[in-house]
Every structure is written in C-alpha cells, then in structure tokens.
Amino acid sequence: MTKEEVHKVVLDIIEEIAPDEDLSDVKPEVRLRDQLDLDSMDFLDIVMELRKRHGVEVPEADYPKLASLDSCGEYLADKISA
C-alpha cells in the first residue's frame, strides 16, 4: 500500500470512530491528536480496527509511530495488504 492509501485507511477508521470530526482539512504532518478531538481510547480503537480490518499488530512501543497521517503511512505502508 502507498502512504496515501494508508492515509485513507486511517481517515476511514477515524470517521467511523469519531463521526462528528471534520476530516476535510487534516494535515498529514501534524499529530492527529493536535488536530482532532481524539482521546486515548479513540487511539486504541484505531489500533484495534487496524488489527481487525487489516491484520496489523501494532505493539504498544510503536504507538508513537502512529501520531500523524504521515507517520502512519511510513509505519503501515508495508504492513497493510491492499
């Protein structure tokens, strides 16, 4: 998967978890929690959905690598099968 495809996967998950969030202007280089009203439980929901939908296991030590869309793209691009 490309980084852009990973961005879409992550945004689709966020849209489901936090449907009231406006995702139209999310900046890929800025931490998601700095742009959106996501708490730690929302973040865990994102990780769980990645595992459920795409079989991606994210160890807790790697959670900081999912801070922004760009970092998600870098971390997940080779882990998510299309």
Evaluate if residue 82 carries a pLDDT over 90.
no
Domain total of the chain:
1
Evaluate if residue 60 carries a pLDDT over 80.
yes
Closest CA to 67 of 43, 49, 37: 43
pTM, two decimal places: 0.90
Query: Each residue of 69-79: pLDDT tens digit?
Result: 999 999 999 88
Q: What is the CATH number of the domain that holds 25?
A: 1.10.1200.10
Look up residue 66 and give its DSSP letter. Answer: G
> Where in the sequence is the domain holding 41, given as residue range(s)?
3-76
Residues 6+ apart with CB under 8 A from 2: 73, 77
